[in-house]
Amino acid sequence: MASEDHMPGPVCLIENVKGQLVANQEALRILSSIKKPVVVVAIVGLYRTGKSYLMNKLAGKKTGFSLGSTVQSHTKGIWMWCVPHPQKAGRTLVLLDTEGLGDVEKGDNQNDCWIFALAVLLSSIFVYNSVGTINQQALDQLHYVTELTDRIRMRSSPDQDELEDSDEFVSFFPDFVWTLRDFSLELKANGESISPDEYLENSLKLIQGTSPKEKEKELNLPRLCIRKFFPKKKCFVFERPVQGKKLGQLEALEDEDLDSDFVEQVAKFCSYVFSSSKVKTLSGGLKVNGPRLKSLVMTYVNTISGGGLPCMENAVLTLSQTENAAAVQKAIAHYDQQMSQKLQLPTENLQELLDLHRASEKEAIKIFMENSFKDVNQVFLTELVTKIERKQEEFLAKNVQASSDRCSALLQDFFSPLEEDVKQGVYCKPRGFFLFNQKLQELKKKYYNTPGKGVQAEDALQKFLQSKEDVIETILQTDQALTEKEKEIEGTGSTPKGDLPAGAPKFSNGEKVSPYKVNFNQVHHKLKA
């Protein structure tokens, strides 16, 4: 797939399929790969006025956008060419060439209006290309600008007068450049030479007192809209590049084959675009990159296709929801990574885990704030905090389980030999309980001194000892019984071999417990500490 720096040629961004506008998936994928801020230059104008030639020049190529050499319009829909910005590192220049307006073969003024509106909505520099001078006919052909208030909404509220609120339009409308092709007049006013910019300003002055009021209002509307909507205006005039049929072979000609004034004028135009172009910016100062431009294209085209009016407020809201959701995921991933990498389970104490949690949470929130915008009512921030709390609970549970597993393994390892000795009857003798308890305390001390047990250390030990209550009680009672028997033997003589002492403990069924064979699972008495 082509990348932002290696697009060999233009691709269709918005297709015109039988009057229906559709976003092209290949172009959207290309935009997704462009992480740099974008400078978007769109050109519109009547068909067969040489728009594509200027765009190829901006791309630094002789060919690319289709020039065409017949009276038929070649460009359909809106075509896109992404190239590295020639003067500003870290930015990508996105060139948008639109299908010619007023093509008699289409017979669809609605489509032209939408192409014009989309070019305005997507660009940071909007170039209007026409032939000849700026006269009333040229302004009448620019009637599309007067329909912008019927095509674009600033806010989702339906009860607004967009023309009255044009200050808001200015905040996101692109800079306006009028390129006049085949210009043959002298730039003079009142006998004095004037610049192309002064010529444009003079042409946009409102007409007063020359027509009936209604007619005057109609004539002034394009002038008024251009003056009010576009924050910055510039004009370039171009000589005819060549004479005769060579005009149809323009892309094959070298600069030396063209009129020298024309070559110089094109160079000035390109230089202005490169030096003065701004990054496409949305309300709130949000700079647009490739993925954000993709989101705008999809939102606007889908709205138009659904019969609605593109709304800046809704487009930014849609974009913010997408990016804020992604910011939440990015922040959560960072929290997960930090906790997983730095947390050694089990922790020695709860505070160790809580301290790492708070530090990771702070970093995650910072990442969210850096990658989010327009989080109305902090909906996504609240979602992030909730998800982090759940993650914390998961890590707390993992910590408890890891500690429990570690302690169980240690207890099994330390106490298994003692359990085996009990089974073998090592402690079933007078003073056996003293010896047993002495060994028990040694093992408890060894357990306490072993690091890495975690938060369940004490609970695990107590549960283990509780599970052995019957054994400890049995050893104690056996010790007492044997000690009494020993005293009896010393006073009255020996006990017959194999006969159990009278005081030996019994099972619940009355069977006496052999002091020579004690099993942990055979007895059930309460522990006396």
> Does a structural domain hold residue 271?
yes
Assess whether pLDDT exceeds 50 at residue 487: yes
> Does a structural domain hold residue 288?
no
pLDDT band per the 50, 70, 90 thresholds, residue 5: low
CB proximity list for 249: less than 8 A, separation 6 or greater: 69
**Structural domain count of the chain:** 1
What is the span of the domain harbouring residue 62?
Answer: 11-152+162-280
Measure the CA–CA gap between 217 and 140, rounded to whole angstroms.
13
Measure the CA–CA gap between 158 and 199, rounded to whole angstroms.
38
318 by Cβ neighbours in 10 Å (0-12 / 13-18 / 19+) ranks as middle
Helices vs strands, H then E, count in the chain: 16, 12
Mean pLDDT across the stretch 128-150?
86
Structure tokens at 148: 């912008």
> Does a structural domain hold residue 500?
no
More confident residue, 71 or 293: 293
More confident residue, 8 or 76: 8
Q: Can you give the pTM of this predicted structure?
A: 0.72
> Does a structural domain hold residue 451?
no
Measure the CA–CA gap between 228 and 278, rounded to whole angstroms.
20
Assess whether pLDDT exceeds 90 at residue 81: yes
Return the CATH number at 239. 3.40.50.300
Measure the CA–CA gap between 95 and 270, rounded to whole angstroms.
12
Reference 79, options 61, 64, 60; nearest CA is 64
Confidence at residue 156, expressed as pLDDT on a 0 to 100 scale: 67
Assess whether pLDDT exceeds 50 at residue 415: yes
Q: How far is CA 374 from CA 320, 323, 334, 388, in A?
A: 6, 10, 22, 21
> Does a structural domain hold residue 116?
yes
Measure the CA–CA gap between 84 and 90, rounded to whole angstroms.
8
> Does a structural domain hold residue 387?
no
Mean pLDDT across the stretch 505-517?
42
b/e per residue, 155-185, with b = 16+ CB within 10 A? eeeeeeebeeebebbeebbbbbbbbbbbbee
pLDDT band per the 50, 70, 90 thresholds, residue 520: very low
pLDDT band per the 50, 70, 90 thresholds, residue 513: very low
Q: Which of 92-101, 237-246, 385-394, 504-513 has the highest mean pLDDT?
A: 385-394
> Does a structural domain hold residue 473?
no
> Does a structural domain hold residue 459?
no
Pair type for strands 175-181 and 233-237? parallel
Give Rg (Cα) of the chain. 43
Confidence at residue 329, expressed as pLDDT on a 0 to 100 scale: 97
Helical packing angle, 290-305 and 109-122, nearest 10°: 150
227-262 pLDDT per residue, tens = 888 878 999 999 988 876 566 556 667 778 888 999
Assess whether pLDDT exceeds 90 at residue 400: yes
Assess whether pLDDT exceeds 80 at residue 411: yes
Q: How many CB atoms lie within 10 A of CB 235?
A: 22
Mean pLDDT across the stretch 170-198?
88
Measure the CA–CA gap between 25 and 32, rounded to whole angstroms.
10
**Residues, the chain, total?**
529
